[in-house]
Amino acid sequence: QSALTQPASVSGSPGQSITISCTGTRSDVGNYNLVSWYQQNPGKAPKLMIYEVTERPSGVSDRFSGSKSGYTASLTISGLQAEDEADYYCCSYAGNSIGIFGGGTRLTVL
Amino acid sequence: QVQLVQSGAEVKKPGASVMVSCKASGYTFTNYYIHWVRQAPGQGLEWVGVINPKDATTRYARRLQGRVTMTRDTSTSTVYMEVTSLTSEDSALYYCAKGDATWSFDFWGQGTLVTASS
């Protein structure tokens, strides 16, 4: 099974909003509302930012939001801050207790 | 507080096997899945597999099917992952992560670096 498709990089200026897409198929993103998003800083373990497409764990800023349409899930970060600069990964349930990650997106805050 | 503590770095020859452990604390071990995720140097995250500590059922990524085995010891709240027939493509940082029915991973171990090199 191929990785979910994410843009390799996105960038934005402080205060702006950016959106990272995550495109799958009818076997994963399109069939389940079990998409999560992770932020990873260099040398650190990933951190859960969004689960079940739109839900935010306790402690995650409300500047982070998630959505889904068809086979594509999206992570939006509003009011971009320098501390948001990191790699972001989506993950989807793909049925039969199998998971699949996206290839990752590097966010640069200009 | 929830903690997942993994075993230390390993260097193995190609063709050998490696076993990595993940000791859980701070929650009821049998109530949550443990997933393994790996990250090759400079690369993205790859889902490796999952074990249900309650009944030891497992599921593995197709790419590693037949070479990876996950087990658990409920007496010590520890999960083990063994990868056999190592190649250079298995060289990666291996993470264990706690999961639930939402198929998301809310707590992660610190990672274990596995290097397969002659």
Q: What is the pLDDT of residues B77-93, one digit of tens each?
A: 999 999 999 999 999 99
Cβ separation A3–B44 shorter than 8 A: yes
What is the pLDDT, as a whole number, of residue A62? Answer: 97
Q: What residues of chain A lie within 8 A of the CB of B44, using their CB?
A: 3, 89, 101-104
pLDDT band, very low/low/confident/very high, at A1 (cuts 50, 70, 90): low
> Chain B residue closest to A46 (CA)?
B108
What is the pLDDT, as a whole number, of residue A2? Answer: 79
* Statement: residue B65 has pLDDT above 90: no
Cβ separation A91–B104 shorter than 8 A: yes
The H or E element containing residue A88 is strand A86-93
* Helix and strand totals (H; E) in chain B: 0, 11
- What's the burial of A8, exposed, middle or buried (CB within 10 Å: 0-12/13-18/19+)? exposed
In whole numbers, what is the pLDDT of chain B averaged over residues? Answer: 97
What's the rounded mean pLDDT across residues B90-116? 97
Residues in chain B: 118
Distance CA B5, CA B3 (A): 6
Contacts of B101 (CB under 8 A, 6+ apart): none
In this complex, is the C-beta atom of B40 within 8 Å of any C-beta atom belonging to chain A?
A: no
